[in-house]
Structure 1
Amino acid sequence: MKYMLRRLAMFVVALIVISIIVFVMLRILPGDIAAVMAGTNATPERVAALREQMGLNKPLVSQYFDWIGGLFHGDFGESMLTGQPVATVVGSRAAITFPLIVMGMAVALLIGIPLGYLSVRTTNRVVQSIYQSIAIIGGAIPALWGGLLLILLFAKGVGILPVFPAQGFPSTGWANPGKALMSLILPALTVGIIVGATIMRYTRASLQTISSSGYVEMAMACGMTRRKALWHVGLRLAMPQLVSVVGLTFAEMITGVMVIENLFALPGIGTGLVSDLGHRDLIAVQSELFMLAAFFLVIGLLVDLAHRALDPRLGEESND
């Protein structure tokens, strides 16, 4: 409980610091924010009206606390482009990005953990070299190139086996789950193959360390085969490290899928953030950056708590 309270306190402090950094970063941009958002051809009257509309004529401290107060009440501001609440816009984008990340992570786990386990289980040098090559090549594939290759293989209209849509997301969203899932399969495979190679390397390294530490031999001395010892004992001991890797990788994939979203024309968070930056919708960008940073911190907090729950030795070390 003490550890959890300490981590929650650190989480709150980190949120406050990040909110200040995001707020200040946009205020130190060259020129006036209102002039930047209004465009180069805007009249002085338009710029002045925009400053008053966004509250930029107030002191910076007042602007910060107005923004933070709105965040606490669920008001993330309004997009200057569409006039919609930022929370609504980000929510519609997240309904594409998060399912894509979950599907990609599922593919990565299905690839990475079994292949990492098999690469340690085998004692054949040639087979080990093949698994190692798979991990290196899979991690080295550029996301853009991998996505284009899958499009040429499986996309409707251009692929050798035209099964899945090449681009876009249904205008009706998840009202048609079948079409929505089909449009995310190729992007998820692209992400999953690349991330799966990383998880495979971590799984392989963890199991190799555990297999040389004596735990596997002890399990085999109790009657297990090497295969069962690695699967039941090795993977269980490697789980805390794998949870950390998977959790942090999941958080990084929020922005990491930006290239994939652009390639497959998916209106997700990454694509939307780039679009808002390009259209100088800085108030929306401010809230979007804070929401992404808060998500990273939440994932980090959950990973720390899960790591501690899976590895009781951490509690024993702190008590000592």
Structure 2
Amino acid sequence: MRYLLRRLALFVVALLVISLVVFLALRVLPGDIATIMAGLNASPERVAALRDQLGLDRPLSEQYGSWIAGLLHGDLGTTMLTGQSVAAVVATRARITFPLIILGLLVALAIGIPLGCAAVLARKARTRAFFQVLAVIGGAVPALWGGLLLILLFAKGSGILPILPATGFPRTGWHTPGQALLALVLPALTVGIIVGASIMRYTRSALQSVASTGTIEMAMACGMTRTDAVLRVGLRLAMPQLVSVVGLTFAEMVTGVMVIENLFALPGIGSGLVDDLGHRDLVAVQGELFLLAAFFLVIGLLVDLTHRALDPRLGANDD
């Protein structure tokens, strides 16, 4: 309980610090923020009206206090382009980004963990070297190049095997789940193959670390085969490390899929953030950056708590 309360207190402090950094980052930009948002050719009257609308004529402390008060009530502001709530826009984009990330992570786990185990179980040096080269090549493939290759192979209209859509997302969204899921297959494969190579390396490293303690040999001495010892004992002991890696990878993928969303024309969080920056909609950018940072902190908190639950030995440090 002490650990939980301490972590929650640190989480709140970190969230406040992040909010202050995001707030100030957009206000230390060169030039006047109202002029930037209104455009260089905007009239002085338009700039003055925008400054008054956004409260930029007030002291920074009052602006920050008003923004925090809005955050506590779920109000992230209003976009300058469409007049919609920033929270509503982010929620709409999240319905694309998070399913894409989850599908990509499932593909990565389906690739990375079995291949990582196979790399540890391989007895021949050539086989081990093959898995090592495979992991390096998979992790070194640029997301843009990998996505283009999958488009050339499987995209409708241009692929060798034209079986999957390559661009856009159904206007009906998840009301037509079959079409929505198909639209995410190629992007998820692109993300999953690259991330799967990293998970493969982490899995192999974690299992080798467990094996170096003699645990695998002890399990084999109790009657297990080497394969059973690695899969049943080694994986269980390596699970806390893998949970940490998978959790942090999930958080990083929120911004990591930005290139993928732009390549496949998916209106997700990453591509939306780029569009808002391009249109100088700094109110939307401010809210989106804060939500992304808060998401990273939440995932970090959950990873720490899960890691501690899976490895009770960490509790000994508090005594």
Alpha-carbon distance, 1:317 to partner: 2.8
Distance across 2 between alignment mates of 1:122 and 1:32: 62
Task: After TM superposition, give the deviation of residue 129 of structure 1 in Å.
Answer: 1.1
| Aligned amino acid, residue 215 of structure 1 | T
Q: Whole-Å Cα distance in 2 between the matches of residues 292 and 305 of structure 1?
A: 20
Summarize the alignment of residues 269-280 of structure 1 with structure 2, pairs less than 5 Å apart: 269-280=269-280
Corresponding pairs, count: 319
* TM-score (normalizing by structure 2): 0.99
* Structure-1 separation of matches of 2:175 and 2:301: 33
CA distance in 2, matches of 1:210, 1:59: 57
| Letter in structure 2 aligned against 1:48 | A
- 2:205 is the alignment partner of 1:205: yes
Show the 5 A alignment for 1:232-251.
232-251=232-251
Q: Counterpart of 2:224?
A: 224
In 2, Cα distance between equivalents of 1:212 and 1:241: 15
* Distance in structure 1 (CA, Å) of the matches to 2:215 and 2:178: 46
Please name the residue that 1:97 is paired with.
Answer: 97
Match of 2:301 in 1: 301
Pairs within 5 Å for 1:107-186: 107-186=107-186
Deviations 1:85-123 (A, max 9, x none): 000100111000000000000000000000000110111
C-alpha distance in structure 2 between counterparts of 1:250 and 1:242, whole Å: 12
1:70 is displaced (CA, Å) by 0.4
- Number of the residue aligned with 1:265: 265
Deviates more, 1:190-199 or 1:118-127: 118-127
Which amino acid is 1:129 matched to? Answer: A
| Cα displacement (A) at 1:58 | 1.1
Q: CA RMSD in A?
A: 0.6
Task: Compute the displacement of 1:126 (Å).
Answer: 1.2
Distance 2:190 2:105 in 1: 11
Match of 2:66 in 1: 66
- CA distance in 1 between partners of 2:135 and 2:42 (Å): 53
SS in 1 for 2:96: helix
Structure 1 letter corresponding to 2:190: T
**Equivalent-residue separation in structure 2 for 1:211 and 1:5 (angstroms):** 35
- Partner amino acid, structure 2, of 1:144: L
Deviation, structure 1 residue 220: 0.8
Structure 2 Cα separation of the partners of residues 317 and 227 of structure 1: 34
Q: Deviations over 1:27-55 (max 9, x none)?
A: 11111111110101111111111111111
Deviations 1:271-292 (A, max 9, x none): 0001101100001111110000
- Counterpart CA distance in 1 for 2:273 and 2:314 is 39
Structure 1 runs not aligned, ≥5 long: none
What do the CA deviations read for 1:283-305 (whole angstroms, capped 9, x no partner)? 11111100000000000000000
SS of match in other structure, 1:265: coil
Match of 1:25 in 2: 25
Distance 2:55 2:125 in 1: 67
Residue 200 of structure 1, CA deviation? 0.1
- Secondary structure of the 1:63 match is helix
Deviation at 1:318, TM superposition (A): 2.5
Give the drift of 1:196: 0.2
Q: What SS does the corresponding residue of 1:16 show, helix, strand or coil?
A: helix
Paired with 1:227 and 1:111, the residues of 2 have a C-alpha distance of: 18
Determine if the alignment matches structure 1 residue 55 to structure 2 residue 38: no
For 2:166 and 2:89, the matched residues in 1 are separated by 24
Give the superposition deviation at 1:166. 1.0
- For the residues of structure 2 that align with 1:35 and 1:211, how far apart are their CA atoms? 61
Cα distance in 1, alignment partners of residues 91 and 212 from structure 2: 47
**Cα distance in 1, alignment partners of residues 126 and 318 from structure 2:** 44
Matched, 1:283 2:280: no
Partner residue of 1:88? 88
Q: Distance in 1 between the 2:27 and 2:153 partners?
A: 47
Once residues 212 and 37 of structure 2 are traced to their aligned partners in structure 1, the CA distance between those partners, rounded to angstroms, is 60
**CA–CA separation in structure 1 for the residues paired with 2:317 and 2:50:** 56
1:188 and 1:160 mapped to 2: Cα distance? 19
Residue type of the alignment partner of 1:132: Q
Tell me what 2:44 maps to.
Answer: 44
Q: Whole-Å Cα distance in 2 between the matches of residues 199 and 308 of structure 1?
A: 21
Counterparts of 2:148 and 2:55 in 1: how far apart (Å)?
Answer: 45
Deviation at residue 59 of structure 1 after TM alignment: 1.1
